[in-house]
Chains A and B, each alone.
Chain A
Amino acid sequence: MKTFPDKHGHFGEFGGQFVPETLMSCLADLKKAFATLRKQKAFQQELAHYLNDYAGRPTKLYFAERLSQKFKNLKIYLKREDLLHTGAHKINNTLGQILLAKHMGKTRIIAETGAGQHGVATATVSALFGLKCQIYMGQQDMERQALNVFRMQLLGATVVPVTSGSQTLKDAMNEAIRDWVTNVRDTFYIIGSVAGPHPYPLIVREFQSIIGREARMQFLLKEKKLPDYLVACVGGGSNAMGLFHAFYQDHRVQMIGVEAAGRGVNTDHHSATLSSGSIGVLHGSKSELLQTKDGQIRIAHSIAAGLDYPGVGPEHAYYKKIGRARYESVTDQEALSGLKLLSETEGIIPALESSHAIFYLTKMNRQVKKKSSVIVCLSGRGDKDMHTVREKLLK
């Protein structure tokens, strides 16, 4: 079977390395280090140790009985990534990447963050390994996620406000790349999503795919079969790819990525890249993008800062193109209903990002056969969003 990406990092027409020349040798080093280390038993054991004893893996696959009763056609399982240390799936990837950084002899860590979850996860592992850490975050996101800023600072990281452009995730990523270009010799850039230049989409997929590997086995043990559907929210797409990838060859398992429709896909205020974008190049790879007719990147919007990104990982663009997954969208308002729904039926407050996936269940319930089984990736918990949610619900 042909595996993706190919050796140049292409997923069909997507992916690749669209970066300034200065980064090319570093990407080559990273590719080499990753290829060597992933095969080493000692590295895998070290990673497993931190994932299990530090982050809290494996996470549970929980049968959401009361939620399932709400939908007559669905049997819903939640993959509880929200229970991980730091409150979201992001730690799977940051632990993997910081071990890469350590083995490559890098002394300084940088990262971009939107909601702050990836920033917190990066600051956390930097503290754990005693490495200097600098996080780039859009000024606007810093205001929306003030508590996460404080958490990162408490963990010893420097949070740099990004005031250029839309002051959100894409601009934070621009600034992180500029830092990286300047300090590439001693700095490791921990990218938080399955985006960026090759080999990042591959690396992040590898470290996140533990979600799907566990879920697949857990589901088989419980149900003695594979699920009919997988559902996960998609911003850059790391939790979705993490869940999907282990099921890639299980052709009967249908995959649905849920994007943020913001105030509506037909407005200028959404982040539904795959639902309404077009092919282009941003942040080092070719994928689907939100852009103007002149090829300028549009400003994305979502109530969930972690989905507020005008691009998407190249492998998702590829999955869409070959029809392996489909991509739907859920608005800000609907996501808020999703958050309330899960809170009230199961006593679990999901992150606003994951709430998009939860709400999508109400839509799919109308379209699927009776007794369809579904695994939803509950990528993060809602603590970080309480301020935003309170404001919106009290309105």
Chain B
Amino acid sequence: MPEDNNSVVIENLVKQFGDFVAVDHISLDIRKGEVFGFLGPNGAGKSTTIRMLCGLLTPTSGRARVAGYDVGREPESVRQNIGYMSQKFSLYNDLKVIENIRLFAGLYSVPSNQLQARIEWALEMANLKGQENLITGTLPGGWKQRLALGCAVLHKPPVIFLDEPTSGVDPISRRQFWDLIQHMAEEGVTVFVTTHYMEEAEYCNRLALIFRGKIVALGTPSELKRDSMKGELLLIECEPLGNAVEVLQSAPDVIDAAVFGNALHLVVRDAAAAIPQVKKYLSDHSITVGHIEKIRPSLEDVFVSLTTERDSGKERKA
């Protein structure tokens, strides 16, 4: 019995491996038809969370309901109502495209009167029409990912979990893949996706930033960019870049400094006040300043700012 509007409800979910707390009291509500992004560095607990939600790992404590079923107590019902793509490509490389599709159609018990239509649909969606008899292992990365997605949704699950679905895939294929995700969401499918590509995070309706097992920020991409930065952001073009970062990190009123492309991003409390000070500080250290301006933070800035903040907080405590 699916619950009202929330497809995924997570309450105080904890997963501990020995002394290591991989997921630390996470709570989330994810609405039907939402593309929910789960962002975080490697080892932050993204995969562990997804695996618990798919019933592959038993939570240490807390609970989660997926498509109306409790992951701890009704894992089989959960599995019939989800599609899952694991981080590593995990279809059978030695099977043909069509054999992989047939296998998963069987595993999800797709009724025989719908089977042909679903197979056609999956081939169409994955853009693999006419390639049915290729051995899966010989496909390029992007095709494999689309096939994996096709296999995971053969049974039209209301919720799908994608664990870094586009890692190692070229940018064009990545774009096509996200079009597919958007398309499914429009049809009411709830998509829970992890990624560490910041530009992909922009495609999500809402994002949760996870760091060291804890959710450090939650909101739409624009909310995060607007509210989550502690301070304002300056873009500085200067020469030499490496020295500038070092110098600025110990400058007064600078919260953080990082290289972004061929420029610097500087987090300060008050941009207007900081610009003249920074200019002076840099020339005092014989660094040539080109251009300097206040900019709107990108998700990457938010992410870096939030994680470094936590990092230094942790260090101070220790």
Binding partners A and B: no
- Write the residues of chain B forming the contact surface with A, with a CB cutoff of 8 angstroms: none
- Write the residues of chain A forming the contact surface with B, with a CB cutoff of 8 angstroms: none
